[in-house]
Amino acid sequence: MPATSSNKPYRVGRSKTGLGLFATKPIKKGTRIIRYYGPILDSRIPEHDDIENKYLFELNGRWTIDGSVRKNLARYINHSCRPNAESDVRPRERKVFIRAIKNIEPGDEINYDYGTDYFKAYLKPIGCKCESCEKKRKKLRAEARTERAKVKARTERKAQKAGAKPVKKKKLNGVAVGKANGRARA
């Protein structure tokens, strides 16, 4: 029994989008949770520069961590637009740590923001599935439903008005006359 694995405050588990990393213990805001680990690639070496997978973590223009290795459990952490963790990037040490930016409770999925480039390249085309975006979509759908209901009600009212046209016209004339009189008096 590897004592280290049970000491870790996380486990790999099922998430909505496949696998994810979940807290197994309370993790305090500011705590370093896990290192994003993998061989360091040098963009000046053509063979390194040719490597392409979705676990590449760019440290700067030159150095990139290839996080596709099995040992790197941090690769299971999914993106969120409103995350509870962040990547602490240390280009000089060529290291990345994932750190809690909120208090995380056992059972919570651990997320960080993958950044704009990744979002544009991988998430925007398929639609981000993070909780925050799902909520936003749900809200938009609800708003669209409300709007459709409003339009329907308006159309029905108009149809009713059209049916009661003579009465309405008389009333309108009355108002207009009243206003004109008021102005003349003042």
Residue 84 binds to Zn ion (criterion: CB under 5 A): no
Smaller CB separation from Zn ion, 89 or 133: 133
Element (H, E) at 12: strand 10-15
Element (H, E) at 64: strand 63-66
Instruction: Rule CB under 5 A: choose which of 56, 89, 101, 133 binds Zn ion.
Output: 133
Residue 130 binds to Zn ion (criterion: CB under 5 A): yes
CB 31 within 8 A of CB 10: no
Residue 128 binds to Zn ion (criterion: CB under 5 A): yes
Q: Where are the alpha helices (DSSP H) in 8-125?
A: 46-49, 116-118
DSSP 147: H
Smaller CB separation from Zn ion, 138 or 158: 138
Q: How far is the CB of 119 from Zn ion (least distance, A)?
A: 8
Number of residues that bind Zn ion (CB under 5 A): 4
Contacts of 101 (CB under 8 A, 6+ apart): 29, 30, 83, 84, 85, 86
Q: How far is the CB of 104 from Zn ion (least distance, A)?
A: 18
Q: How far is the CB of 31 from Zn ion (least distance, A)?
A: 24
Residue 131 binds to Zn ion (criterion: CB under 5 A): no
* Positions in the binding site for Zn ion (CB under 5 A): 81, 128, 130, 133
